[in-house]
Amino acid sequence: MAFEALGELLDDSLRLPVGNRTYTVPAPSAEVGLRTQALINAAAVAADGGAVDEQVLSDAAERDLYRDVLGPAHDQMVADGVSWPALKHCAITAMVWIAQDKAAAERFWHSAGDPSRLAPNRQARRSRSGGANSTKRPGSTSGTSTRPATTRGKPQGKRRP
């Protein structure tokens, strides 16, 4: 089996519908992809209270990040007068696509950036999975039993008055 051309295997763009228009975000360069991945990892570490590499989260590293991840779609959105919340949602969706994959980006897109819509709450997860129930587990079926506990210490005999 020979390798197929990578361009035929990968869908290297993201199409984001905003208003009456669909913007195409091309795959980023390796440099932008690596920087985006580093920023997302650093943000996750910071959110967990860990020590963050200051150089990764510097203003210079963050400058023009939205423009970089959206590529030419950024300038098209600005020229079309797209609102700031919409542009920001598109850029973060593109960052999720770059750092993870298209399926994760679609989940983020459909959550409208609301984390509570992204991950269902515990009760909803349990109701889908069957969750905990009140049925007791059966005992061992190995056919062996444990010995009764013995008392330790002095043997039990008659008590002296």
Residue bearing tokens 């990040």? 65
In the chain, % of residues over pLDDT 90: 36
Q: Which residue has the higher pLDDT, 126 or 146?
A: 146
- The stretches of the chain forming alpha helices (DSSP H) are 6-9, 30-47, 59-62, 65-70, 72-79, 84-99, 102-111, 115-118, 122-129
Question: How many domains, the chain?
Answer: 1
Residue 90 counted as domain residue? yes
Residue 60 counted as domain residue? yes
Instruction: Report d(CA 105, CA 93) in Å as an integer.
Output: 5
Residue 24 counted as domain residue? yes
Give the model's pLDDT for residue 106: 92
Q: Which one, of 65, 116, 114, 118, lies nearest residue 94 by Cα?
A: 65
Q: Is 110 helix (H, G, I), strand (E, B) or coil?
A: helix
Averaged over 122-138, what is the pLDDT?
53
Decide: 36 and 65 in contact? Cβ < 8 Å: yes
